[in-house]
Amino acid sequence: MGSQVGTALLKHPVFGDLPHEGFLSPLLFRIIGNGKPLAGSGIAEKDLFMVGEGREECFAYLAQRNVGDGVAVESFGLDLLSGKPEGAAILDGMIDFARRLK
């Protein structure tokens, strides 16, 4: 896990059918990597869906952001294209959530 100390997941439709306990469980160990440092990221706290705490700083893993007149759903440091079921479940959830944002 390297410098990863803890990770929290919001109960939110962006995760689709992925079962989670609200924290980093063994289910997610295989797809989590280095997130985006929160400091200076410009991501509002209300727009964070998955965050992690390292020894020195906090990281964003899944968030949304206003882009023009729309909203983008962003992933940082999650291996969603690995072919692993947990990555596919999050990617499916992100796509379904984004479709509902229209």
Number of CB atoms found within 10 A of residue 72's CB: 12
Do 57 and 5 meet the contact criterion of CB atoms below 8 Å apart? Answer: no
Helix, strand and coil in the chain, % to nearest 5 = 25, 35, 40
Q: Which of 94, 83, 69 is nearest to 17 (CA)?
A: 94
pTM of the model: 0.85
Note the pLDDT tens digit of each residue in 9-23.
888 999 888 888 777
Name residues whose C-beta falls within 8 Å of residue 26's C-beta, 6 or more positions apart in sequence: none
Note the pLDDT tens digit of each residue in 50-99.
999 887 889 999 999 888 888 889 999 999 999 999 999 999 999 999 88
